[in-house]
Amino acid sequence: MRRIDCSMLNKVRWTGVLSSLLLSQAVWAQAAIESVVGTLQGGTEVVRVELSQPLEADPTGFVIQSPARVALDFPGTSNATGKSLVEVNQGNLRSINVVEAGGRARLVLNLKTATAYKTERQGKALLIMLDPVSAATPSKTAEARVFEAKASASDVLPIRDVDFRRGSDGAGRIVVGLNSSQVGVDLRREGKGLVIDFLRSSLPEGLRRKLDVADFGTPVQTISSAQQGDIVRMRIDPVGDWEHSAYQSDNQFVIEIRQKKVDINKLTQGPGYSGEKLSLNFQNIEVRSLLQVIADFTNFNIVTSDTVTGALTLRLKDVPWDQALQIIMDAKGLGMRKSGTVLWIAPKDEIDARIKRDYEAAREIENLEPLRTQGFQLNYAKAADILQQIATNTGGSGQSTRFLSQRGSAISEPRTNQLFVTDTPAKLEEMKALLATLDVPVRQVMIEARIVEARDTFGRSLGVKFGGGSNGNKHWNLGGSYADVAPGSSTSSPFVNLPASVPGVTGAGSLAFSIFNSAATRFLSLELSAMEADGDGKIISNPRLVTADQNKALIEQGTEYPYSMTAPNGATTVAFKKAVLKLEVTPQITPEGDIILDLDVNKDSRGEVTLQGVAIDTKHIKTQVLVENGGTVVIGGIFEIEETNQVVKVPVLGDVPVLGNLFKSNTKGSTKREMLVFITPRMLSSQLRSGN
């Protein structure tokens, strides 16, 4: 942090005063932290803090359990290290923050596991010694990206392959072939590199090597893989200012590392204002001279427009220089354009007018630039479909051409599946990049449905058959009279005939009794019958189909039944109605790898016969669900239960207690029907393709 303090008088020459101001720096009487280093000495983690002068007393501090931290306060001390974060990543110590506020400095040790500490002063240095942690287990860093393992803890699966590719945007792409999609992965930054742990995995001998990929022209320089217990550890060493992303698709884990994008119009890179701090104190200073002070301080080349005039009085203390410049420009209505290390500062209206003229000139050049025709071979998409997306006309009609210029045109050739575009060279380059994004293979999904219909029936019936008869020349009728019969024969007549009966079941067990008189000429007969039936059945339908992402698919199987219908002219015609098992689905794969399904499921069957034709018994489900890849979900079910209790009896006699059972039959029945629909979607495996 630098300070510039000036009191301007009209009689003082600006050049000499400004030169002396730029060569001077304020002298601070307070102590300053000059460096912070973390080391490992004899198994003990030691943080060495170098100060500009010895401390009079040990700093006060405190320990935080969650998150694990040790904080120490240095009163009357500033931060002269030039940075607020020191990366360590050694033992139990992750990093060290140095913060300055309110005339004091605070040192924060970010730990993996909470522990105690001791301090010791050695001249201008302060040693902070952390107590060892007996059972410290490294936790995941804030950047760690963990894919939880669902496989059995006893399974150690081998890594299949490690491949490196260069992306179309210059990114380095590391593709790791896994043996299962359930392998746990822990990704974190350590120092200047990236470390990936594949849990419960083994590394074949052929893959235990160090890859030098510097010649590919990506931020990645080397990739090394090694076996550590039941963990495969991969270390990636990039260079420069980089960022990373990682994702998993089925059995492949992909890490992409690319250079950070730099905003050329920003004075200093990073969030907010991050320039070196300065202090300014001016009375009625000309804006042009103040901008020159900023230029000398920052080593930027500043070109000031002739229209920048006026004076300014300001007092700023400990303000980043890029923020100070923004304050000055806002106060005077100025704007800025940056080109490398050159800043052009002018009134905003003048800059806007210049930008407008540049755009108008570029448009005029585009309208005069010669056109070229280029053919693009499409591999996966249809040229006619792409043509509808990139252009709504063939150019020159004033309608929107979307991605083409006003003079541009495009045609599709279906035989060779090519797209021919006529436009300016710049637009052709944009079209090439656009088609590389659109012409990609569509992921496919297999959807399996399982429709289970279960049926459980139970029936019980008790019946009676009661009658009488005679042996000899006469028999007894129900009316109490006698009738002649053939000599030596016997005849019986039922008084009550209510046998046991269960629907759909024939035959019943029975027990009969007969009572004769003393002469054995007449008798009474009693027959008791009982029946019990128990049955169950199951029907499983299993339709399955494969379709592309966001494409509707249909599969059905069944019978079409005819039925009569009357036409408007009075004639009778025959139409057909389907009784089918149908699965209609539209899948959509989400960026997280889950699958959204629009489902329409039918399970029809033949019903009763009517005068118009055969009725159709239908079961229908239509819904939308979100299912994980390979997961199973029950999208619906129907449960029916039917219970019957039937009594057939002789009036009056059947109501007599106890004896009434001889004049009636009881039948009980129960039928249970249940239908469940299970859906399982699975993404089909496909090799990841590098961008071209």
- Structure confidence at residue 20 (pLDDT): 36
Q: Higher confidence at residue 525 or residue 234?
A: 234
Instruction: Give the residue with greater pLDDT, 660 vs 254.
Output: 254
Task: With a cut of 90, say whether residue 513 has pLDDT above it.
Answer: no
Read off φ and ψ for residue 427, nearest 5 degrees.
-70, -35
Angle between helical axes of 287-298 and 321-332 (0-180°, round to 10): 160
Residue 503: the pLDDT is 73
> pLDDT at residue 545 above 70?
yes
In which element (H, E) is residue 640 found? strand 633-649
Distance CA 489, CA 487 (A): 6
Provide the pLDDT confidence category of residue 584 given band limits of 50, 70 and 90: very high
The four Cα atoms 363, 367, 370, 371 give a dihedral, to 10 degrees, of 100
Cβ(128)–Cβ(170) under 8 Å?
A: no
pLDDT at 376 (0 to 100): 93
Neighbouring C-alpha atoms within 13 Å toward the C-beta of 443: 24
What pLDDT does residue 489 have? 52
Q: In the prediction, which pLDDT does 236 show?
A: 94
pLDDT above 70 (res 5): no
Q: Which residue has the higher pLDDT, 598 or 293?
A: 598
The SS3 of residue 313 is strand
Strands of the sheet with 60-64, listed across from one edge: 60-64, 69-75, 104-111, 93-101, 85-90
Contacts of 475 (CB under 8 A, 6+ apart): 469, 482, 483, 485, 490, 491, 492, 493, 522
Torsion of CA 374, 376, 377, 382, to 10 degrees: -130
Task: Find where tokens 């009881």 sit.
Answer: 666
Residue 585: is its pLDDT beyond 90?
A: yes
Contact 197, 186 (CB under 8 A): yes
Sheet holding 193-198, edge to edge: 145-147, 185-190, 193-198, 231-238, 220-228, 210-212
CA distances 282 to 319, 320, 325, 330, 571, Å, are 15, 17, 14, 17, 103
Supply 242's token pair.
Answer: 């980089």
Least confident of 13-27, 552-566, 644-658: 13-27
Residue 591: DSSP 8-state = T
Annotate 249-290 with DSSP letters as a single string: ETTEEEEEEEEPP--TTSSSSSSS--SPEEEEEEEEEEHHHH
Lowest-confidence range among 217-221, 258-262, 516-520, 601-605?
516-520
In terms of pLDDT, which residue wins out, 493 or 598?
A: 598
Whether 394 has a pLDDT exceeding 70, the answer reads no
Q: Give, in order, the Cα–Cα distances in Å from 170 to each of 164, 214, 244, 257, 439.
A: 13, 12, 13, 9, 20
pTM for the model? 0.47
Question: Tokens representing 304?
Answer: 């000031």
* pLDDT confidence bin for 417, thresholds 50/70/90: very high
- CA gap 98, 78 in Å, rounded: 9
Angle between helices 425-438 and 383-390 (to 10 degrees): 120
- Position with higher pLDDT, 495 vs 446: 446
390 alpha-carbon distance from chain centroid? 29
Structure-model confidence comparison of residues 539 and 194, the more confident one: 194
What pLDDT does residue 135 have?
42
